[in-house]
Amino acid sequence: MLAPVRPAVFVGARLLDGRSPDAIANGVLATDDRGRISVAGAVSGVKAPRDAERIDATGLTILPGIIDCHVHLSLRLEPVADQVQRSATDLVVRALETGRDFLDAGVTTIRDAGYTPAGIKRAFASGAFPGPRMQVSCTPLSQTGGHGDGWTPSGAVLETEVSDLPPGIADGVDAVRRAARMQIRAGADWIKVMATGGVLSAADSPDASQFTVDEIRAIVEEARAAGIHGTLAHAEGTSGIKNALRAGITSIEHGDLIDDEGIDLMLERDVPLIPTFNINFALMDEDRVASGDVPPWAIEKMRYLFDRQQVNFRHAMERGVRVVMGTDSFNGMYPPAELAYMAEFGLGPFRAIQAATTDAAALLGLADEVGTLEPGKIADLIAVSGDPLAEPGLWRDPARIVFVMQGGRIVADRRGA
């Protein structure tokens, strides 16, 4: 079970509240017995409670907890021979373990972008297991032969059957409506659409458009009718990105080959881009390639996309596209590194922090609860050693995140290490 909520007051810290790039050099932050922030500001301007546990945060920067809007708790990069040994129980155990690890790394809220059942969300919310606050999309929707189709040339289908992850392969407007309704029935907060081919699918190219505009529009309509949070599109190829935008998608994931027309549509409809650099670097990692975790076809496709995405991302930033953090991370990956990549590839250190806090909270419909250090908000926060505005590369080093709190509960305290 989770640790109890106890009032605490942090002293001596630099505060970055997620709203302003101007840090409070000598700040005070207090939390109450409801797990919410009661005080946040400069030591000279606020009154800290006397009956709270005092936590010395000298030399640390306190920020809102990280919000990752594209994860896969139940997946792992692994050889095909290992994938076919995975049972439904293995999938659940892996999701619980990965959620715990992400929370320990400072990721306090997530949107799972596919293959994790809603029961995992409930397990974290109940306090039975440690894990991030969570929204799920259940099974991504894919056309036959699309990025979500686990078919292989041998005839084997790389897919673990789980009762509360309904099938996602559908073709035609009526079929995709039914598939979307099945995900909603299973507890989906979002519907994930495979609008293009991808890197880790054997039968397609990232350039390939998948689903028609009418099919995607039907999925969007079902999400709106059900009153769930929205829809997200795996979209790497140029035409597929624009198809998803014209159909009314809520967010674009990856966006590797976006062009100016696609950027125009994103700006016109205020749709955020979620670049997911973390997975790209994982797929190019020499050790993962050597071990067979990354199949040969995926390596070729990733090499094709790698530099193009970085160039297109910079261009989208220069034109004003809104960015939200998502990593495509799963077991064995380190989500906070995404902030360093976003900062380096054109977003800058502060806007990268906003992408992972205020802007991410807004996308998930949680802006009133999390994403900033303000009185009344849920006490989700992290403390890092150093100044991430001056040294954005610190996000790559797990040792630099020394304290994690979620809902007023201390998750990790490594200040003495």
- List the structure tokens of 199: 């890197």
Q: Which of 192, 242, 301, 377 is catalytic?
A: 192
Q: Is the dihedral of CA 136, 138, 140, 141 positive or negative?
A: negative
Known active-site residue 242: no
Adjacent-strand bridge partners of 413: 403
Residue 187 CA to residue 166 CA, distance in Å, equals 11
Question: Judging by DSSP bridges, how do beta strands 66-71 and 107-112 pair with one another?
Answer: parallel
| Cα torsion angle, 184, 371, 367, 377, sign | positive
C-alpha–C-alpha distance, residues 212 and 196, integer Å: 10
Contact in structure between 132 and 361 (CB atoms under 8 Å): no
Give the number of residues written for the chain.
417
What is the spatial distance between Cα 54 and Cα 99, in angstroms, rounded to a whole number? 29
How far is residue 299's CA from residue 288's CA, in Å, rounded to a whole number?
A: 11
Q: Is 301 marked active-site? A: no
DSSP reduced 3-state for 185: helix
Contact call for residues 147 and 196 (beta carbons, < 8 A): yes
Crossing angle of helices 260-269/238-247, nearest 10°? Answer: 20
How many other CB atoms sit within 10 Å of the CB of residue 318?
Answer: 10
Question: Which two three-digit tokens encode residue 74?
Answer: 């139940």
Contacts of 174 (CB under 8 A, 6+ apart): none
Angle between helices 238-247 and 213-226 (to 10 degrees): 40
CB atoms within 10 A of CB 98: 27
Which of the residues 328, 359, 377, 380 is marked catalytic? 328
Catalytically active residues are: 192, 328
